[in-house]
Structure 1
């Protein structure tokens, strides 16, 4: 499989270059030359396959034969060694729980997969790989833990000071070793801008090998398509059809992966992107104008993105035609008050504890789902990662998984900088 920059479609690169660089030299994001159609028989029998089997079949066209198929199967099985179950919530609404991995967030899927792919590519190199990642919360913890102690790889996590939850911060600031946490006096958009500027800086690139583990990197993005296939498989096993999937969306990488799955043939009826007050994409779908702006802080902090970097991939998928984008994705946004109200209502009605991001997905389905449809929203992080938001709403403590509680024993280690490339370069060099 070859990959091209969306800014220069005529220039193709191989898998290794696309993954190691993360961002093309022309500042464009990479896309696969072809998104293959999976055979009809695959979807007819998908409910009989395991998660690793589904992942192997859906990702093989993108990563093999660059990686030997037998070895690739073992990498996939190792990365996805936890369950991703569908749970029924109410009426025709279900959730796909994506928080059963090591850091209790959906990004464990992409981060663990990417760590294994980069681990393969770094073998035999005479230089270390330096990963720069901007995070609004869960990306930092998933990437840091996915790459923790991986030989030949250093990770630098940039995060906005005071704008991630205490639990999230503990997950990537207490590791040490090859993980460096960088606390930025700014917003997530500032962190993301600095990472992009670093990739384009001649001095940095002459002194070190840089790549990204944000969803701008295909090795992080493509594996996320797997759980849409797996969620569909579980609903199919229950004889549920007319499936509508709703994705809490911030940087729009997660729903981009969903649209890739649909392009491969996944028979989902429609997709909904749910977000918070940072409603740039919902507004675009109303008026056809993409107008990025400074992000605002909300209780669903992982979606506090004012200029979603992956939206250009969605436009690319649909040939930059507004009507095609609008025909393939719906979107809605919710205020903090609406998110809290949804969390409270669902808990009182069903006993299920939503995190603030999943709450936007549930609310979108409750408002937009037709009676004949079956809705599946992504519960993207364990509610115990947001106790300061969730517990006052439901009026009780959220049970904390052991794998999450272990992070509280560590001591924070972080370098504080201003939101300027010069400050970041001082840390890196």
Structure 2
């Protein structure tokens, strides 16, 4: 499979080249030259297929010929080692729990898959430096996915004071090949610093840079897998349901997760609608209402992992609909809410249905409550992170002291190892050059 740039001013690249490079030179996003269609037999078998088997079938066309079939099967077996259950919350509404992995967030899937791909591609004399901007869960998932991987250094930028305490502990206490850097600014500022590094010709000549944000195809594409899995589990739980498809509500910040769902639909997954569920950073819902796409400075909310004012992956969604606004609107619905309804939803769902939402999943749940009556489908919302990752907020809302799962307890009381820079590219470039010098000397 070849991948082209959505800006169409950079050369096409193989999967391997696209993964290592991360971003095309023209500042577009890599996109597959063709989207394969899965046969009806796949969907018939899907309810009884194991996750690694689904992953292999879904990803094999995109990774060939750079990853051989046996190697891809081995990677899928290594990555999909934890359950992703579909849990009924109430009549017609299901939660897809994506928080049972090592860092309790949906990004464990993409980060682990990408780390195995880069490990397979890395050359001993060409160490790779992976750059990551995070608003919370990306940092922890990438750090833990790449921890101890030979020949790969990871640099994580995060907004100072802009992630939860537990999220921060997950990527600032590891050391080894993981460097965490707090930036005096927002997530969008961190994202912009990473973009500047990729467009810095002097730096990219000197260093072998890659990105582990969802802009990287090896982070983005594996997220398709759990949409197929969710639909299969929904059909298994509702064999008598005659509906052809379901509606997915996706908590959306940088829009990589939603873009993965949309490409799964293009491969044949029976999804009637997607809902882009956001907080006050409502750039995409506003676009769906007006047709005007206007990125704006991000604002802080209780759902901090979605505090993104300029979503990087939305161009991929536009690409899938040929940049045709009316076609996109037929499939994609927009929803946004303030913090107060999120708090109320967490409290009421806990009381009435004995199910604990995290702030991001709560937004997606609220979007289904608004849209489902007119859609006449069942709804599946993505629970993208364990509620305990937002313990302070959840405890405050419920007036309780929720327990931490084992994966999160492991990070408690470890010393923090992180640096700090201003929102200044020259400082970031100097940090990368110094790290490269130390890496070359070791």
What interval of TM-score do these two structures reach, taking the shorter chain for normalisation? over 0.9
Partner of 2:296: 293
Q: Note the 1:217-296 alignment, pairs <5 A.
A: 217-238=216-237, 239=239, 240=241, 241=243, 242-296=245-299
For 2:280 and 2:134, locate their aligned partners in 1 and report how far apart those are by CA, in whole Å: 18
Partner of 2:406: 402
Pair 1:421–1:10, CA change in 2 (3 A): closer
CA-CA distance at 1:419 after TM superposition: 0.8
Structure 1 residue runs of 5 or longer lacking an equivalent are none
CA-CA distance at 1:351 after TM superposition: 1.4
- Out of 303, 306, 311, the position equivalent to 1:308 is 311
Name the TM-score, length of structure 1 as normaliser: 0.98
Partner of 2:206: 207
How well do the aligned residues superpose, as a CA RMSD in angstroms? 1.1
Does residue 79 of the first structure (1) align with residue 79 of the second (2)? yes
Does residue 47 of the first structure (1) align with residue 50 of the second (2)? no
CA-CA distance at 1:9 after TM superposition: 6.7
Is the Cα–Cα contact under 8 Å of residues 64 and 72 in structure 1 kept in the other structure? Answer: no
- Out of 362, 373, 376, the position equivalent to 2:377 is 373
The superposition leaves residues 290-317 of structure 1 with CA deviations (integer Å, 9 ceiling, x where unpaired) of 0111000000000000010111111111
For 1:222 and 1:288, locate their aligned partners in 2 and report how far apart those are by CA, in whole Å: 27
CA-CA distance at 1:171 after TM superposition: 0.2
For 1:296 and 1:15, locate their aligned partners in 2 and report how far apart those are by CA, in whole Å: 35
Q: Note the 1:139-218 alignment, pairs <5 A.
A: 139-218=138-217
- Out of 415, 421, 427, the position equivalent to 1:423 is 427
- Secondary structure at the counterpart of residue 324 of structure 1: helix
Partner of 1:414: 418
For 1:226 and 1:385, locate their aligned partners in 2 and report how far apart those are by CA, in whole Å: 24
For 1:203 and 1:250, locate their aligned partners in 2 and report how far apart those are by CA, in whole Å: 31
For 1:167 and 1:353, locate their aligned partners in 2 and report how far apart those are by CA, in whole Å: 18
CA-CA distance at 1:10 after TM superposition: 7.8
Segment drifting more, 124-133 vs 157-166: 124-133
For 1:212 and 1:11, locate their aligned partners in 2 and report how far apart those are by CA, in whole Å: 18
Pair 1:24–1:10, CA change in 2 (3 A): closer
Is the Cα–Cα contact under 8 Å of residues 158 and 181 in structure 2 kept in the other structure? Answer: yes
Partner of 1:388: 392
Is the Cα–Cα contact under 8 Å of residues 249 and 382 in structure 2 kept in the other structure? Answer: yes
For 2:425 and 2:320, locate their aligned partners in 1 and report how far apart those are by CA, in whole Å: 32
Does residue 121 of the first structure (1) align with residue 96 of the second (2)? no
Name the TM-score, length of structure 2 as normaliser: 0.95
The superposition leaves residues 9-44 of structure 1 with CA deviations (integer Å, 9 ceiling, x where unpaired) of 783211111000110011111000001000011111
Does residue 62 of the first structure (1) align with residue 62 of the second (2)? yes
For 1:317 and 1:10, locate their aligned partners in 2 and report how far apart those are by CA, in whole Å: 19
CA-CA distance at 1:350 after TM superposition: 1.1
